[in-house]
A and B are shown apart, each in its own frame.
Chain A
Amino acid sequence: MMVEAIIHMRDLIKQYQMGDTTVTALDHASITVKKGDFVSIVGPSGSGKSTLMNIIGCLDHPDSGEYILEGQTVDKMKDYQLATIRNENIGFIFQNFNLLSRLTAVENVELPLIYRGTKAKERREMAMESLKKVGIADRAGHLPHQLSGGQQQRVAIARALVGEPPILLADEPTGALDSQTSKEIMEVLSQLNQQGHTIILITHDPEVAKMGKRMVRISDGKLSEVGMNEHEYLHIH
């Protein structure tokens, strides 16, 4: 059975100029992600994880290489086109939640729909639905500072989910949480994956990474698939 590729990246290069020296953050990085996948990308600090995530998330352009997202070539798109791609195809989940502090949980979840032009009533219904999915509907009217870290991250996941994007992109989603809460959040992500959501998880923590179906290691901007054996190995340790 052929499963269609949602993400297809080939030979991505991203370099930063720091005075005289050139830092290669991504060095011929290639990866293909299929629908329904749960990919963990692991690597130490400075290995290029955030750079990769920014490019996958269409926040940044690669210097060269090919990036096809849902059949659209995005590597040379204009900023306003990328904004639309982000809105419709990517659900971001950040390490520090990144909720707007003045908006209630449900209003935060509504945000992606606002930029899509969804009508207020429909927006509210979809946002509540999304909050229900991550089990936090009872806190819809709370402001972020009235919620615990784990609850905030659930709201953030609900926000990522609400527009039904093909890809959920999580950058260290458990980085700011204690181990118990981390487990719960990973549980939520696993469930979402089982419901058919494609997830790309970026982390430096192998414990977290092993929750994925597939693991990709990044070091010095180079990507390498971690074989099943090694994956198993990591599972055990």
Chain B
Amino acid sequence: MSIFTSIKMAMRNIKGNKMRALLTMLGIIIGVSSVITLVSIGQGSSQSVSESINDLGTNLLTVNISNTDIPFTLDDVDKVKEIDGVKNVSPVLSGRVTLKNGKTTSTVSFTGSNASYEDVRNLSISNGRFITDIDMDYRQKVVVLGSDTATTLFGRENPVDQKVLVNGESYRVVGVLASKGGSMGQNSDDTVIIPFSTAQRLLGTTHITQFYAQADSQDTINRTMLMIERNLYEVFGDADSYSVANQQDVMDTMSSVNDTMTMLLGGIASISLLVGGIGIMNIMFVSVTERTKEIGIRKSIGAKRKDILLQFLIEAIVLSALGGIIGVGLGLLATKIYTLATGSVAAYSLSVILASFLFSLAVGVIFGVFPANKASKLNPIQALRFE
């Protein structure tokens, strides 16, 4: 008997008892759809975590200086830049300022930094220009606005070359940042950036407590980090005065936590797939018993053991494949609903969809074998006598 005929026969049997077929498949449906939903959501969240960490800047080292007794100056920062493997350095000073344009006021966070900051933090300018070295050198009262801040203060007007009051002093707007959206719990669009030297004067400080160093590449970042630490040790003479953090470390930790979560969720869902398989097996056993007479008739007509085995096996496989397909559809739907409802992203992965579908097929084969084998072994005479 051809496989095609067997599949057609199995489909007929399934169609003949739709409710039971649905209940049989339910375990597989729930299993497959939950694997797909949970893994898609899990992978989506680890993707968005790494994206938002990348948003902070690539190959980024953050240096914090806690010792204020020994002054750390711009010259010291420039020395760090000389280190082999360091591409850019950006000292930063931050705080909050009140902005005023006409009658509109707004209090936002500000960052004082240099021209490299644009590169270091992966910023881009949508209008005008960023801070330049000359702004730094001459302590220019110029300001770059975040996109939200620009809208708040100037509405639909072009803010470039307009004046804005920063803590009461007049600054010239030189540029507007492109929108980046919120990341890691902060809105990077509601901010202003001014030259570092101007910020020092604004805060009345000469100390540098934090700067970013951007490494040349991901491959050398650990070596660069060591070199910076060695340089800082020379300046301070002890290792407690400063700390250097690697952005990648944070990212790796976050994504490994996320991967573990995804694995766990996927594992739990896989168990439900397995339970679904056992469900198929149970119903198939019932089906074999119910259809004992049919098996007897088929055997008397000339069905071989392998024909009967194949018939029941294919029925189990068709059931689990059908369940798998419905599960995939339902899983994608559930994921879509989740992303729409929560506004979070999900990463559909074809390999996960394929794997869970194939797994459900395998479940059908494995758990279909036992009942099919039982059916094929029935003695035709006894089977014919069965009522």
Q: Mark B355-371, 1 if CB is under 8 A from A, else 0.
A: 00000000000000000
Q: How far is the CA of A117 from the CA of B381 in the complex (A)?
A: 24
Tell me the smallest distance from the CB of A163 to a CB of chain B, in Å.
8
CB of A159 within 8 Å of the partner chain:
yes
- The verdict on A237 contacting chain B, using a C-beta distance below 8 Å, is no
What is the minimal beta-carbon distance from B41 to any residue of chain A, in angstroms? Answer: 42
**A88 to B304 alpha-carbon distance, docked (Å):** 13
Determine if B301 and A86 form an interchain contact, defined as CB atoms under 8 angstroms apart. Answer: yes
Nearest residue (CB) in A for B17 is A102
Is A187 on the interface with B (CB-CB < 8 A)?
no
Give the residue among B12, B306, B381 with the most A Cβ atoms within 10 A: B381
Q: Are B302 and A100 in contact (CB under 8 A)?
A: no
B351 in contact (CB, < 8 A) = no
The interface stretch among B29-37, B231-239, B292-300 is B292-300
Do A88 and B381 touch across chains, with their CB atoms under 8 A apart? no
Q: When the two chains form their complex, are residues B5 and A83 in contact, meaning their CB atoms are under 8 A apart?
A: no
Q: A72 → chain B, closest Cβ, in Å?
A: 15
Q: By DSSP majority rule, is chain B's interface helix, strand, loop, or mixed?
A: helix
CB <8 Å contact, A115 and B302: yes
Whether B305 and A80, one on each chain, are in contact in the complex, defined by CB atoms closer than 8 angstroms, is yes
A115 touches B307 (CB 8 A): yes
| Cβ < 8 Å to B, chain A residues 86-114 | 86-88, 92, 94, 98-100, 102-103, 111-112, 114
CB-CB < 8 A to B16: which residues of A? Answer: 102
Q: Which residues of A contact B297 (CB under 8 A)?
A: 98-100
Tell me the minimal C-beta distance from A52 to chain B in angstroms. 12
Residues of chain B within 8 A (CB-CB) of A184 are: none
Q: Pick the contact of B301 from A80, A87, A102, A120 — CB < 8 Å? A: A87
Closest beta carbon of chain A to B12's beta carbon, Å = 7
Q: How far is the CB of B40 from chain A (nearest CB, A)?
A: 40
Q: Least Cβ distance of B382 to chain A in Å?
A: 10
- Of A54-62, A132-140, A174-182, A218-226, the segment with at least 4 beta carbons within 8 Å of chain B is A54-62
User: Given A60-B381, A100-B297 in contact, is the A114-B1 Cβ separation under 8 Å?
Assistant: yes
Q: Which residues of B contact A99 (CB under 8 A)?
A: 297
Q: Does A79 contact B (CB under 8 A)?
A: yes
B205 close to chain A: CB less than 8 A: no
A92 (CB) vs chain B CBs: closest residue: B300
| Interchain nearest-CB distance for A94 vs B (Å) | 8
Identify the closest chain B residue to A87 (Cβ).
B302
Chain B residues lying within 8 Å of A120, measured Cβ to Cβ, are 5
Question: Contacts A100-B297, A102-B13 hold; do A117 and B2 have CB atoms under 8 A apart?
Answer: yes
B298 to chain A, nearest CB (A): 7
Residues of the A chain whose Cβ atoms lie less than 8 Å from the Cβ of B298: 100, 111, 115
CB of A57 within 8 A of CB of B1, answer no
Of B293, B302, B306, the residue contacting A86 (CB under 8 A) is B302
Q: How far is the CB of A153 from chain B (nearest CB, A)?
A: 14
Q: Point out the residue from A54, A83, A94, A102 that lies within 8 Å of B302, measured CB to CB.
A: A83
Q: Does any Cβ of B come within 8 Å of A64's Cβ?
A: no
Question: Cβ of A45 < 8 Å from any Cβ of B?
Answer: no
Closest to B293 in A: A98
Picked from A79, A100, A112, the residue with its CB within 8 Å of the CB of B305 is A79
Residue in A closest to B6 when the chains form the complex, CB atoms: A114
Report yes or no: B304 in contact with A84, Cβ–Cβ below 8 A: yes
Given contacts A100-B294, A102-B12, A102-B13, contact A116 B381 (CB under 8 A): no
B296 contacts across to A, CB distance below 8 A: 98
Please name the residue on chain B nearest to A162 by beta carbon. B301
Type the 1/0 row for B284-297, where 1 means its CB is closer than 8 Å to any CB of A: 00000000011011
Interface CB pairs A-B, < 8 A, 16: A59-B299, A59-B380, A59-B381, A60-B381, A79-B305, A80-B304, A83-B299, A86-B301, A92-B300, A92-B301, A94-B384, A98-B293, A114-B5, A115-B1, A115-B307, A159-B301
Which 6 A-B residue pairings sit nearest by Cβ, starting from the closest?
A87-B302, A83-B304, A115-B302, A86-B302, A98-B297, A112-B301
Residues of B within 8 A of A (CB): 1-2, 5, 12-13, 16, 293-294, 296-307, 380-381, 384
